[in-house]
Amino acid sequence: MQQERRLHSLEKIVAAVALVAVLFLAVGFAQAQESPHARAARVFLRSSSVLVQDATSGRTILSKNADAVVPIASISKLMTAMIVLDRGLDLSEPIKITDADIDTLKGTHSRLRIGSVLTRDQLLLVALMASENRAASALCRTYPGGKAACVAAMNAKARALGMTDTHFEDPTGLTPHNVSSAEDLAKLVKAAYQYPLIREDTTSESAYVNARGRMIAYHNTNGLVRNPRWDIDLSKTGYINEAGRCLVMRLRVASKDLIVVLLDSWGKYSRIGDANRIRKWIESSAFERHRG
């Protein structure tokens, strides 16, 4: 009788363990079937448009209004840099900042005084790392054929990359008529990653340039590149009122190469908060259940 009671107790334990296992598998299966949009809702992201992709396979992991066409602000400078590099222009050529580079649209401040002379290489660095608008303007102004040819090349490059939601009207992103979608910007990041100089410039923490005898210190507009916990291969921020706070990155998280696009994030630090929330979610056990 005592032996039978022990067997009965053992059977109950085995049944309970089996039930827990079944429930765990059922929950895991249900979560695996979630759409990328549903996952984004659970992560509670504050950016209006979000896309997180596996950079290798192109698989979408998180998505929120990823097809919405919105202003992209200084994310535009990635395209400016690509068409300048595509043209094979002399990076050591000195270029003077002129009145034509003054921002008459938004009236933004620049520490690059009129008459400052930097090499094309230095202009690329401060345009990409510190989002210096006069630098981006000068790069486009000195493009063969001038600004019109530069902007035309930007739009032609977008079409070649299959960026059907994208349109550019200037090299800086100060105009709200520079528009794209998160889906298109993932294509832009993927293309920009192929340029070693863009990878280097967008992830540099800081740099000094000599402008008219003055040493000017520039810092990366994405503070995450200075955080040793982040492994970022490419980065670009953007902001104008119409676009909100924007951020695109190619980075490595939990042994995965990812593309992250965050557009129109309200609040000064919301895009960084969203990046941290995405990272935390990906590093959690939930991401393991979603991996294909």
Read off the pLDDT band of 138 (50, 70, 90): very high
Read off the pLDDT band of 271 (50, 70, 90): very high
Instruction: Output b/e per residue, 22-47; b: 16+ Cβ within 10 A.
Output: eeeeeeeeeeeeeebeebbeebebbb
pLDDT of 160 above 50: yes
Q: How far is residue 277's CA from residue 199's CA, in Å, rounded to a whole number?
A: 24
Tens digits of residue pLDDT in 58-102: 999 999 999 999 999 999 999 999 999 999 999 999 999 999 999
Q: How far is residue 102's CA from residue 85's CA, in Å, rounded to a whole number?
A: 23
User: Which pLDDT belongs to residue 26?
Assistant: 39
Per-residue pLDDT averaged across 261-267, rounded? 93
User: Which pLDDT belongs to residue 63?
Assistant: 97
25, part of any domain: no
Instruction: Give pTM, 2 decimals.
Output: 0.86
30, part of any domain: no
Read off the pLDDT band of 37 (50, 70, 90): confident
Closest to 168 in 3D by CA, of 195, 196, 136, 142: 136
Read off the pLDDT band of 239 (50, 70, 90): very high
Q: Work out whether the CA dihedral 81, 84, 88, 91 comes out positive or negative.
A: negative
First to last CA, the chain: 51
Q: How far is residue 133's CA from residue 110's CA, in Å, rounded to a whole number?
A: 7
Per-residue pLDDT averaged across 127-149, rounded? 98
The torsion angles phi and psi of 156, rounded to 5 degrees, stand at: -65, -40
pLDDT of 156 above 90: yes
The torsion angles phi and psi of 285, rounded to 5 degrees, stand at: -65, -20
102, part of any domain: yes
Domain boundaries, position 44: 36-290
Residue 167, phi-psi category: left (phi > 0), alpha (psi -120 to 50), beta (remainder): beta
Q: Residue 83 burial (CB < 10 Å; 0-12/13-18/19+)?
A: buried
Per-residue pLDDT averaged across 139-158, rounded? 98
Q: How far is residue 169's CA from residue 71's CA, in Å, rounded to a whole number?
A: 11
In DSSP notation, 22-40 reads: HHHHHHHHHHHT--HHHHH
Least confident of 38-47, 49-58, 122-131, 273-282: 38-47
Per-residue pLDDT averaged across 40-57, rounded? 90
Per-residue pLDDT averaged across 141-155, rounded? 98
Instruction: Match 């910007």 to its residue by tokens.
Output: 185
pLDDT of 34 above 60: yes
Tens digits of residue pLDDT in 190-214: 999 999 999 999 999 999 999 999 9
Read off the pLDDT band of 39 (50, 70, 90): confident
Q: How far is residue 120's CA from residue 146's CA, in Å, rounded to a whole number?
A: 15
Neighbours of 73 (CB within 10 A): 27
Q: How far is residue 19's CA from residue 73's CA, in Å, rounded to a whole number?
A: 53
Read off the pLDDT band of 35 (50, 70, 90): confident
| Helix 146-160 / helix 76-86 crossing angle, nearest 10 deg | 100
User: Which pLDDT belongs to residue 266?
Assistant: 84
Active-site positions? 74, 77, 131
pLDDT of 164 above 80: yes
pLDDT of 285 above 80: no
28, part of any domain: no
pLDDT of 18 above 70: no
**Token pair listed for 37:** 């949009």
At 158, which CATH number? Answer: 3.40.710.10
Q: How far is residue 139's CA from residue 119's CA, in Å, rounded to a whole number?
A: 10
20, part of any domain: no
22, part of any domain: no
Per the structure, the count of domains in the chain is: 1
208, part of any domain: yes
Residue of 47 and 43 predicted with greater confidence: 47
134, part of any domain: yes
Helices (H), the chain: 2-32, 36-43, 76-86, 120-129, 133-141, 146-160, 182-192, 196-203, 270-283, 285-290
pLDDT of 292 above 60: no
% of the chain at pLDDT higher than 70: 85
Read off the pLDDT band of 23 (50, 70, 90): very low
Least confident of 40-44, 151-155, 179-183: 40-44
The percent of the chain in helix, strand and coil, each rounded to the nearest 5, is 45, 25, 30
